[in-house]
A and B are shown apart, each in its own frame.
Chain A
Amino acid sequence: MRTMTRRAMRGVGLLCAAALSLTACGSSDGDAGSSDKTVSGGDLRAALKEGGSITVWAWEPTLKQVVSDFEKEYPKVKVKLVNAGTGNDQYTALQNAVQAGSGVPDVAQVEYYAVGQFALGKSLEDLSRYGAGEFKADYSPGPWNAVAVDDAVYALPMDSGPMALFYNKKVLDKHQIAVPTTWDEYLEAARALHAADPKAYIANDTGDAGFTTSMIWQAGGTPFKNRDTDVTVDLTADKGVLAYTKVWQKLIDEKLLAPVTNWSDEWYKGLADGTIATLATGAWMPANFVSGVESASGDWRAAALPQWEKGGEVSSENGGSALAVMKDGKSKDLAYAFNEYANHSDGVQARLKGGAFPATTADLSSPSFLDTTFPYFGGQKANEIFARSASQVPEDWSYLPFQVYANSIFNDSVGKAYVSDTTLADGLKEWQKASVAYGNDQGFNVNK
């Protein structure tokens, strides 16, 4: 009896320990050390001269070069670059640090879809007091709208992911399939390819929240709207949702999508051996092609994203992230100075050389950037396509203020459409229900 109880208790204890490690022993309600006074460039230069040290949490590889350049330029400033995980892992750690009120980095990388959640949690410093509000024209509209809410600027865009269609030219040529320019043509191409080679698929998809929302975005949808704490979620009647489900449901029903999950081993294999023939994703993909799908070098090309309406010129964003200054960070002035260096001045060039895709309009239109040839894509000047895409992103899109969580439960509901009789529309409806419930539970007024 004794053993048993203790065993069972240990079970509970372990769970609780997990909960314990997560939650903080105190919350940070007060605006400790934060002030609303504006900081001028002179103040920043003085801070840089005086020196100090800052911690940066980021997984973006090109920042390593930026840090060493920055330290060379301002020898008195020490920058500690920490990889605290990618995406969700990092957000979990960041959330914990903020709640614990200790160990908060000065600068953190935050993806565009997650900016809202952190800004709302009052974890991010409003950079407009450093004059960041004036940078609006310097960045592509998609990234800028993700970091700027009303007059506040919660982060500086670091890179962007204007979407393009990557396609395996060798495979399409072999089966004499033209590169689709609309999603209807894409469906036709999917049928033709799969009929010609039952092992080949036009694309892989097992349900990916980021991709689905990007598609809805491109189709002119605005399923998420928020004003302060009033949030609207409409995944049932939104025009973008309807356009997307109409085509995608057919791709699913006719089993034209490879049941392979992004970033899995099977996925890389499929991209390499031609069984996954196209990939619609962000412009940050080329670096991943080069490193992960080396053997298919020369097979792939980039093209404009297929359109929902024939002759349209609309694109979308997928992925991309910004650097934010944490409200609980210790040296906010230095943090901002680093952020600006990395994303609005000399650091940008260093990152571009490292293969990053810029969010700055000046670079997107600079001849040296546009003329870059990609040996991987058979010498194609792919940046021209990406840059055009960046200028065609609809501006009125916004994510949910709790998109991080909503995305994490996407496959619970929408995933069913890929493995059962549930339709995509029903799956999205269920996702909406779960998201609405979560939002209301978190104190928002969702669909009220």
Chain B
Amino acid sequence: MTAVTPITTGRRPPAGGSRGRRVRRGRRGQVGWVFVGPFMAVFALVFLAPIIYSLYLSFFRDQLVGGTSFVGLDNFQRAFEDEQFWAAVGRVALFLVVQVPVMLGLALLVALALDSGRIYGKSFFRIAVFLPYAVPAVVATLMWGFIYGTRFGLVGNFNDAFGVSLPDPLSPSLVLASIGNIVTWEFIGYNMLIFYSALRVVPKSLYEAAEIDGAGQWRIITAVKIPAIRGALVIATIFSVIGSFQLFNEPSILQKLAPNAITTYFTPNFYTYTLSFSGRQQNYAATVSLVMGVVTMIIAYAVQLRGMRKEA
């Protein structure tokens, strides 16, 4: 992918004969490279080089005593036996299984409601639901962190005002759910927009035909609308799968508020961050991120296969 040889000569190829055709085909291939070249160069530099460099790093180990040494696949073996890493993977998997369906379900509901044309102030709701997506994740998390506070936050105020004691959203048992709530709040609008725009391009005639056939609104939704936007559903699911596996901002900011509920290996991403930034184990961190990348790819691909098979 790096061997890009642009054509500089304008020489005419010899005409006729099978040999000439082969040459021309070769030339055409090379012309293609010229157009693809700039992209490939950037792609190689920005996407492939870091991966290759990480792979390179993952074969070494850097110690405070002893310096850097080649360790072969030791880091990978360690990653596969690392309880903290797999606990983190399990945590984001649980998050994925619970949070993503809830978020996408709500987003779909909102999109269908907007598309039905039966609510007043449609544009207001559309923008209101979308607005959280425009709030930077860091700000959103800080804001929710204040809301969750049981002493001076909204939860605390609520407890004081009504004399109740709500469970602490930042306790170890609830913190994952609290993060799920933040992420749901942030991304409903984004997913809603994907679904809504997919719904807008469904031909209205389909609905009319369904109505003539005697289908109610519910039947139209399940038999016409949802099948029609399956592609959008699959895409949104894949984005969400990847987003879940890359969970980082929310736990990293909430950790300041709940240091004992969020460990330094709370999510795989957070774990690699701690490993490299405070544990100076860049090599092992690179290994963990590679393994995590592969896991993410496998799951996303499985979702893709499943989504597309139904479509066929």
A12 at the binding interface (Cβ < 8 Å): yes
Considering only residues 182-200 of chain B, those with a C-beta below 8 Å from chain A are none
B257 at the binding interface (Cβ < 8 Å): yes
Q: How distant is the Cα of A16 from the Cα of B141 in the complex, in angstroms?
A: 25
- For A18, what are the chain B residues with a Cβ–Cβ distance below 8 Å? 272-273, 276, 289
Query: What per-residue 1/0 map shows which CB atoms of B250-261 lie under 8 Å from chain A?
Result: 000000110111
A412 at the binding interface (Cβ < 8 Å): yes
A170 at the binding interface (Cβ < 8 Å): no
Pick the contact of A12: B51, B63, B260 (CB < 8 A). Answer: B51
What's the minimum C-beta distance from B231 to chain A, rounded to whole angstroms?
11
The listed residue with most A CB atoms (<10 A of its CB), out of B54, B149, B257, B265, is B54
Considering only residues 253-283 of chain B, those with a C-beta below 8 Å from chain A are 256-257, 259-261, 263-265, 269, 272-274, 276-283
Would you call A405 and B47 a contact (CB within 8 A)? no
Would you call A408 and B263 a contact (CB within 8 A)? no
Would you call B285 and A19 a contact (CB within 8 A)? yes
- For A402, what are the chain B residues with a Cβ–Cβ distance below 8 Å? 64
Would you call A15 and B64 a contact (CB within 8 A)? no
Q: How distant is the Cα of A415 from the Cα of B170 in the complex, in angstroms?
A: 14
Would you call B260 and A408 a contact (CB within 8 A)? no
- For B256, what are the chain A residues with a Cβ–Cβ distance below 8 Å? 261, 264
Q: How distant is the Cα of A404 from the Cα of B277 in the complex, in angstroms?
A: 11
- For A212, what are the chain B residues with a Cβ–Cβ distance below 8 Å? none
A358 at the binding interface (Cβ < 8 Å): no
Q: How distant is the Cα of A408 from the Cα of B270 in the complex, in angstroms?
A: 13
Interface of B, secondary structure class, is helix
Q: If A92-B277, A92-B278, A207-B259 touch, does A444 touch B65 (CB 8 Å cutoff)?
A: yes
Pick the contact of A416: B260, B264, B300 (CB < 8 A). Answer: B260
Considering only residues 213-264 of chain B, those with a C-beta below 8 Å from chain A are 235, 238-239, 242, 245-246, 256-257, 259-261, 263-264
Q: If A1-B304, A442-B63 touch, does A16 touch B263 (CB 8 Å cutoff)?
A: no
| CB-nearest residue of chain A to B43 | A6
B70 at the binding interface (Cβ < 8 Å): no
Q: If A18-B272, A20-B50 touch, does A443 touch B65 (CB 8 Å cutoff)?
A: yes
B27 at the binding interface (Cβ < 8 Å): no
- For B53, what are the chain A residues with a Cβ–Cβ distance below 8 Å? 16, 19-20
**For chains A and B in complex, what number of residue pairs have CB atoms within 8 angstroms?**
149
Q: How distant is the Cα of A7 from the Cα of B50 in the complex, in angstroms?
A: 15
Query: What per-residue 1/0 map shows which CB atoms of A372-416 lie under 8 Å from chain B?
Result: 000000000000000000000000000001101100110110011
- For A88, what are the chain B residues with a Cβ–Cβ distance below 8 Å? 278
- For B301, what are the chain A residues with a Cβ–Cβ distance below 8 Å? 4-5
Q: If A23-B57, A117-B64, A260-B151 touch, does A411 touch B269 (CB 8 Å cutoff)?
A: no
Interface of A, secondary structure class, is helix
- For A14, what are the chain B residues with a Cβ–Cβ distance below 8 Å? 246
A68 at the binding interface (Cβ < 8 Å): no
Q: If A12-B290, A19-B289, A20-B53 touch, does A6 touch B64 (CB 8 Å cutoff)?
A: no
Would you call B278 and A9 a contact (CB within 8 A)? no
Assign chain A's interface to a size class: 35 or more
Q: How distant is the Cα of A117 from the Cα of B278 in the complex, in angstroms?
A: 12
B125 at the binding interface (Cβ < 8 Å): no
Q: If A8-B300, A207-B260 touch, does A438 touch B279 (CB 8 Å cutoff)?
A: yes
Would you call B296 and A442 a contact (CB within 8 A)? no
Would you call B304 and A4 a contact (CB within 8 A)? yes
- For B108, what are the chain A residues with a Cβ–Cβ distance below 8 Å? none
Would you call B54 and A15 a contact (CB within 8 A)? yes
B119 at the binding interface (Cβ < 8 Å): no
Query: What per-residue 1/0 map shows which CB atoms of B32-75 lie under 8 Å from chain A?
Result: 00000000000000110011011001000011111110000000
- For A8, what are the chain B residues with a Cβ–Cβ distance below 8 Å? 242, 293, 296-297, 300
B292 at the binding interface (Cβ < 8 Å): yes
B152 at the binding interface (Cβ < 8 Å): yes
A195 at the binding interface (Cβ < 8 Å): no
Pick the contact of A13: B50, B282, B300, B304 (CB < 8 A). Answer: B50
Q: How distant is the Cα of A13 from the Cα of B54 in the complex, in angstroms?
A: 9
Would you call B65 and A22 a contact (CB within 8 A)? no
Pick the contact of A261: B259, B289, B290 (CB < 8 A). Answer: B259
Query: What per-residue 1/0 map shows which CB atoms of A86-105 lie under 8 Å from chain B?
Result: 00100010010000000000
Would you call A408 and B46 a contact (CB within 8 A)? no
- For B281, what are the chain A residues with a Cβ–Cβ distance below 8 Å? 441
Q: If A4-B300, A29-B67, A408-B274 touch, does A16 touch B51 (CB 8 Å cutoff)?
A: yes
**A7-B238, A22-B282, A444-B64 known; 15 other A-B pairs, CB under 8 Å?**
A12-B51, A12-B293, A13-B47, A16-B290, A23-B282, A88-B278, A206-B259, A229-B65, A260-B151, A404-B278, A408-B274, A415-B259, A415-B260, A419-B260, A442-B64
9 contacts between A and B (CB under 8 A): A5-B301, A8-B296, A9-B293, A13-B47, A92-B278, A117-B64, A261-B256, A419-B261, A420-B172
